[in-house]
Amino acid sequence: MNDVTKAIVVDRLCQQVTDATGILNILDDVSFTVPVGQSLAITGASGSGKSTLLGLLAGLDQPSGGEVHLLGQSLTQMDEDHRAAFRASHVGFVFQSFQLLPNLTALENVMLPIELAGKPAEAAANSMLQRVGLGDRLHHYPSTLSGGEQQRVSIARAFVQGPILIFADEPTGSLDAGTGATIINLMFDLAAQQNTTLVLVTHDLSLAARCDRQLVLQGGRMVS
């Protein structure tokens, strides 16, 4: 499979675990595609398989069956080192709990992925923080920032290298409605500017409604 107009192609994806009662299907026969530059909201009740699906799409876990292709490359046929290299080059992450390093400033947190790639980091990180409205918070540590400001740093870190894919897990889940709406607008504005594909797990109906498509999971199966 080589179609790089498709950011994501998922074919009959399954994930099973075995417990004392036998085999449990976490995901069952899930298939869909997401074109480059579009957005997908993954929704459903707690325990429906949303976070499991996101982990498989990002190559953080291996499925029991089926295939995940990102940008024409099979994640399921890569070893862990190749998946990690692929994520570093093409993927950004936004988390509900922000996942900022507490001993680094906002600027240093955003510089980190660029430095790990062996590239000059400070100017690019500074510019991205300016774009998310934190030009006056460059040298503040996460503990001195509000929740909304911390999520802006997280978004700046995710977008700073111009990834083709962003995976976001409940990005507004820790924020009040007003701050969450601001964060939603920021993410979609940056994605439009950079032609980034967004995949979001969310319970936030206003966020899901902004996406080009909503994928609803129920008991590990797609219902829409």
Does the pLDDT at position 3 exceed 70?
no
The full set of domains in the chain, from first to last, is 6-222 (3.40.50.300)
Mean pLDDT over 74-92 rounds to: 92
How far apart are the C-alpha atoms of 175 and 161, rounded to whole Å? 25
Residue 46's CB: how many other CB atoms inside 10 A? 7
pLDDT at 19: 79
Q: What's the full length of the chain, in residues?
A: 224
By CB atoms closer than 10 A (0-12, 13-18, 19+), residue 122 is middle
Mean pLDDT of 74-87: 92
Tens-place pLDDT, residues 44-68? 998 899 999 999 999 999 999 999 9
Q: What is the per-residue pLDDT across 168-205, written as a single tens digit (0 to 9) for each? A: 999 998 899 899 999 999 999 999 999 999 999 998 88
User: What ranges in the chain are assigned the alpha helix state H?
Assistant: 50-57, 80-90, 106-116, 122-131, 147-159, 177-194, 205-210
Say what the alpha-carbon torsion angle 99, 170, 131, 111 is, to the nearest 10 degrees: 20
**Is the predicted pLDDT of residue 224 greater than 70, yes or no?**
yes
Tell me the CA distances in angstroms from 92 to 1, 44, 169, 198, 204, one per residue in order.
Answer: 23, 23, 11, 10, 20
pLDDT at 206: 83
Residue 65: per-residue pLDDT: 95
In the structure, what pLDDT confidence band is assigned to residue 23 with cuts at 50, 70 and 90? confident
**Chain mean pLDDT for the chain:** 92
C-alpha span between 45 and 60 (Å, rounded): 22
- Between 122-131 and 147-159, two packed helices, what is the crossing angle to 10 degrees? 130
pLDDT mean over 133-158 = 96
